[in-house]
Amino acid sequence: MNDKMSQLYQQVLLDHNKTPRNYRELENADQESLGYNPLCGDKYKVFVNIDEQDIVTDVTFIGDGCAISKASASMMTNIAKGKHVDEIDSLYHQFHDMVRGKLDPDTDPNDLGHLKIFAGVRDLPARVKCAVLSWHTLNAAIKGKEKVSTE
Partner 1 sequence: MAALSTLKAQTRSIDIATCRDDFPVFSREVHGKPLAYLDSAASSQMPEPVMRAYTDYHSRYHANVHRGVHLLSQEATEAMEAARESMRELINARSGKEIIFTSGTTDAINLVMQTYGRSQIGEGDEIIISTMEHHSNIVPWRMLCDEKKAVLKVIPISDDGVIDMEAYESMLSDRTRLVGIVHVSNTLGTINPVKEITRLAHSRDIPVLIDGAQAVSHMKVDVQDIDCDFFATSGHKMFGPTGIGILYGKEEMLSKMPPYRGGGDMIISVSFDEVLFNDLPYKFEAGTPNISGAIGMGKAAEYIQAIGYDAIRHKEQELLKYATEKLSAIDGLRIIGTAPEKSSVVSFVMDGIHPHDIGTILDLEGVAVRTGHHCTQPLMDRLGVVATTRASMAMYTRKEEIDQLTAALQKAVEIFK
Query: Residues interacting with partner 1, by CB under 8 A?
Result: 1-2, 4-5, 8-9, 14, 18, 39-42, 64-68, 124, 126-127, 130
Least distance in Å: CB of 19 to partner 1? 12
Q: How far is it, in rounded angstroms, from Cα 146 to Cα 151? A: 16
Which one, 62 or 124, has the nearer CB to partner 1? 124
Pairing of strands 42-50, 56-64: antiparallel
In the complex with partner 1, which residue's Cβ is closer, 12 or 14? 14
Nearest to 3 by CA among 124, 143, 132, 133: 124
**56/118 with CB nearer partner 1:** 118
Q: How far apart are CA 110 and CA 123, in angstroms?
A: 20
Provide the 8-state DSSP code for 19. S
CB of 27 to partner 1, least distance (A): 26
Which CB atom, from 21 or from 43, has the smaller least distance to partner 1?
A: 43
Which residues are paired to 50 by β-bridges?
Answer: 56
Nearest distance from residue 42's CB to partner 1, in Å?
8
How far is Cα of residue 53 from the mean position of the Cα atoms in its chain? 23
The least distance separating partner 1 from the CB of residue 72, rounded to whole angstroms, comes to 13
Q: Tell me how far apart the alpha carbons of residues 149 and 151 are, in angstroms, rounded to a whole number.
A: 5
